[in-house]
Amino acid sequence: MTICFDFGPEIRTDKGYMKVTSSDTYEKEKGFGFADCVNITAIKRNDDLFTGDYCIPFEAVFLADVENGNYIVSVLIGDPIAPTSTTIKTNGERLVLNNVCTVAGQFTRETFAVHVREGQMKLSFSGIAPRINTLEITPSTEQITLYLAGDSTVTDSSPDGFPFSGWGQMLSSFFKHDVAVSNHAVGGRSSKSFITEGRLDAFKENMREGDYLFIQFGHNDQKQDEHRHTDSASTYKEYLRQYIEAARSRRAQPILVTSVHRRYFEESGKLKDTHKGYPEAMRELAGEENVPLIDLAEKSAKLFEALGPEGTKSVFLWGASGEWMNYSAGVKDNTHFQEQGSLRIGRLVVEGIRELNLLSLIMFLR
């Protein structure tokens, strides 16, 4: 059953739509509303039910309680007399619409997929002139679910971590509503600890025929603590095989992804290989198990060497004192990405999808 919302100050609306005004704070009893209404403005331009009024959700979050699963989300965005620019992120701060712009009098209907795991859909709005006219949320069992298993270079960030971002957080924005991304990557995990903590079990329970499981580990497999360490020549492959087997047992398609490189350069300008034998071990395993491979290590090395030591600062989590609100003392992180960087890495992953000719994903790329 589709849940429909009409935003704006005008109380009247079409049958089947629930009205949301600038004062509708989320309440558990009603199951929807804005997280807070501090930056919400409701505007009425004319008497049209849907395009004549709207809310301006400036740096705002809208919440709707729904059951876990996949959804097709449709939003109507526009303004009768002003240009607009709207960005939307969803559960886990995943980018789904990036800087959608309309001119005065233009309205656009955009659709995207959301995978919900915690009983609530969260839509975060930003942009220099955001609008929301209507919102429809429809449960779906027909979408492909693209599952991600990995570490902090893949994971979803939280709002208080901005601009930190994993590439998996950006992947939804490259797909139409036919593909829902379910990012299970967690910072600090290795191929071993992800399994021993029971995180692979969620894939076994929920994956279906036609789904995908993308697997990127290696950064933390190098760590020497017993909880995470694997040997690139032996146990690393053994743990990765468990992911492959889990996907195949559900008739889903496993995809191996070599670890994206860190930002360390030789004096010559060449990138240092800090991953040692792990990417090569994954390449070998892909051949042994006949599993498609996206060589993100190779792709990221080419990108980083082309950008050089200075240019890569715009990819990684670098910032001067006071540049980023959440890193007010400054930050120099050569492992993790800022949002613009994770978008570039996401494009490399999509490039790999095209090169592998994964048609059931390619046909739904934006």
CA distances from 94 to 69, 98, 101, 222 (A): 16, 11, 19, 28
Six-digit token pair at 106? 């233009």
Class of domain 3-140: mainly beta
Contacts (Cβ under 8 Å, ≥6 apart) of 231: none
For 114: left if phi > 0, alpha if psi spans -120 to 50, otherwise beta; the answer is: beta
CA distances from 256 to 90, 189, 191 (A): 26, 16, 12
pLDDT score at 11? 80
* 79 within 8 A of 71, measured Cβ to Cβ: no
Which phi and psi (to 5°) does residue 248 adopt? Answer: -65, -30
Q: Where in the chain is the domain with CATH 3.40.50.1110?
A: 144-362
Six-digit token pair at 175? 């797909």
For the chain, 366 residues long, give each residue's pLDDT as a single digit of tens. 899 999 999 887 788 999 999 999 999 999 999 999 888 999 999 999 899 999 999 999 999 999 999 999 999 999 999 999 999 999 867 999 999 999 999 999 999 999 998 899 999 999 999 999 999 999 999 999 999 999 999 999 887 788 999 999 999 999 999 999 999 999 999 999 999 999 999 888 889 999 999 999 999 989 989 899 999 999 999 999 999 999 999 999 999 999 999 999 998 888 999 998 999 999 999 999 999 999 999 999 999 999 999 999 999 999 999 989 889 899 999 999 999 999 999 999 999 999 999 999 999 999
Q: Where in the chain is the domain with CATH 2.60.120.430?
A: 3-140
Whether the CA torsion 232, 233, 234, 238 is positive or negative: it is: positive
The burial of 131, by beta-carbon neighbours within 10 Å (0-12 exposed, 13-18 middle, 19 or more buried), is given as buried
pTM equals 0.92
pLDDT digits (tens, 9 = 90+) for 233-278: 999 999 999 999 999 999 999 999 999 999 999 988 889 999 989 9
Six-digit token pair at 229? 């360490």
Burial readout 341-366 (b: 16 or more C-beta within 10 A, e: otherwise): bbbbbbebbbebbeeeebeebeebee
Superfamily of segment(s) 144-362: SGNH hydrolase (3.40.50.1110)
pLDDT digits (tens, 9 = 90+) for 165-183: 999 999 999 999 999 999 9
